[in-house]
Amino acid sequence: MRLGMRHPSFRGPAARARSGRHRTRPSQLSTIVSPQALGIGCAPPQQEFLPEAMTATPHPDDRHAGGQEDGAASAPANQAAAVRASLGSRSIVLIGMMGAGKTSVGRRLAQALELPFFDADAEIEARAGMTIPELFEKHGEPYFRAGEARVIASLLGQGPQVLATGGGAWMNPDTRARIAEAGLSVWLKAEVDVLLRRVRKRNNRPLLASGDPEATLRALLETRYPVYALADLTILSRDAPHDHVVADVIEGLHAKLSPGAPLENLT
């Protein structure tokens, strides 16, 4: 089965259906040419569907525009400035389960640090021309994961930035290695009851689309949490305003990046 790709000027039902995540405007897709020119639609499905050379432009709403969202300055301004200066060209990469708040926290974190924000899942949807549930349904999870790895690899070359990744992205050893080379990984850790309350509000989680969502989520936690624990920093994503979690992330990054900070993970 071949993967089709819509022209940037076409906004079909799948594109219009995307909501609640990082929005992508046509200007973001200026680097995408026709599917034939990219070889998409002609390659066998075993190949990754996203050329690594393709680049992305952050949505204008996710650029720093001289101000911060309400509450985004919860962390001391001097800590935010120190973190930004210490990053150099590295990215802050948010990992964790679906429902952990990676997109919401990530957007506010980027505002506080005056950095661009990218959502890897939104980039995948924009480049593929279909939603992630559609990709899972039409091409399967292995095919999706191969393209996901390529998107994240290309985005990591555009640091510094805040990058939110999908729940399964960190499980790929190659992706973990690339993140370690080009960024700092931050695990937003949430308890199962918090995740369940959040994910039940949406129907765009293909791994929870059938059977018993709670049992599936618990099984994923058992598999993924030991691997998530390899992240550079662990922050509890609790039932509190997102800005409080942002402040925790900045405080943790500041301690991590300060001279003489311990090498082990902060929790």
Q: Could you please report the per-residue DSSP string of 38-94?
A: HTTTTS-TTS-SS-TT------GGGS--SS--TTTT-S-HHHHHHHHHHHTT-EEEE
pLDDT of 93-142, one tens digit each?
Answer: 999 998 899 999 999 999 999 999 999 999 999 999 999 889 988 999 89
pLDDT of 227-265, one tens digit each?
Answer: 999 999 999 998 778 899 999 999 999 999 986 554 444
Model pLDDT, residue 36: 32
Residue 47, pLDDT > 90, answer no
Model pLDDT, residue 105: 96
- Global pTM reads 0.70
Spatial distance between the Cα atoms of 209 and 88, rounded to a whole number of angstroms: 40
Mean pLDDT within 77-104: 94
Range from 12-16, 109-113, 192-196, 257-261 carrying the lowest mean pLDDT: 12-16
Spatial distance between the Cα atoms of 129 and 105, rounded to a whole number of angstroms: 26
> pLDDT tier at 66 (50, 70, 90 boundaries)?
very low
Mean pLDDT, the chain, integer: 75
**Interior angle at CA 221, CA 162 and CA 154, nearest 5:** 30
DSSP state of 27: G
Residue 92, pLDDT > 90, answer yes
Distance from CA of residue 97 to its chain's centroid? 11
Output 130 or 14, whichever has higher pLDDT. Answer: 130
Spatial distance between the Cα atoms of 168 and 156, rounded to a whole number of angstroms: 17
Output 29 or 83, whichever has higher pLDDT. Answer: 83
Decide: 240 and 198 in contact? Cβ < 8 Å. Answer: no
- Does the CA dihedral 192-193-194-200 come out positive or negative? positive
H or E segment to which residue 14 belongs: helix 13-17
Mean pLDDT within 214-231: 92
b/e for 90-118, b at 16 or more Cβ within 10 A? bbbbbbbbbbbbbbbbbbbbbbbbebbbb
- Range with the largest mean pLDDT of 54-58, 185-189, 192-196, 257-261: 185-189
Model pLDDT, residue 206: 56
Q: Which two tokens stand for residue 108?
A: 């506010």
What does the radius of gyration of the chain's CA atoms come to, in whole angstroms?
A: 18
